[in-house]
Every structure is written in C-alpha cells, then in structure tokens.
Amino acid sequence: MPKKGLEVRFVGKTQQIKIGLDKSFPVSSIKGSFLDGILPRDTIIAVFSFTAGTITSLLTYVIENASKPGSK
C-alpha cells in the first residue's frame, strides 16, 4: 500500500525560502542572515555572546566609576 503524504526535497543556495501551499500566499518564510554565508552558526553565537558579555562588563565598570564620590 503506497504511503500518503508530502515529501519535499531542496538542493541549492538561496537567500530566502517561502513556505506554503500557494506560492503567492506563503504561510511562513525562512531567511538567512548575511553572517550565515561567512561564518558557521556556532561561531556567530559565540561572537554575539562574547560581545554581549564585554558590553555588560564595560557598562558595569562605567556605572560603578561614575557613581563614586569625587568623580567628574
């Protein structure tokens, strides 16, 4: 007995994928970022995490030193 269902396969490169039953009314879309073409996903996550941690540390340092008495 043949199975019923939908099987879809994609191969190639693209900037954006639109998903839906009607091509002029997609239900969902998936779009890659510029960085996805340059760096692996794990590296992007590591860079953003490092940057967020560094900015948080610098802001904490600036706020603590600005609130000390005698600062200009």
**Number of domains observed in the structure of the chain:** 1
Contact 8, 16 (CB under 8 A): no
Tell me the pTM. Answer: 0.48
- 10-residue mean pLDDT profile of the chain (72 residues): values are 74 74 68 76 90 95 83 52
Residue 56 confidence (pLDDT): 95
Q: Give the bridge partners for 18, in sequence order.
A: 29
Range of the domain at 65: 39-72
What are the start-end ranges of the E strands in 9-69?
Answer: 16-19, 28-31
Residue 49 belongs to some domain of the structure: yes
On whether residue 54 sits in a domain, the answer given is yes
Beta strand residue intervals within 1-72, DSSP E:
16-19, 28-31
**Tell me, what's the pLDDT at 19?**
73
Q: How far is CA 52 from the centre of its chain?
A: 14
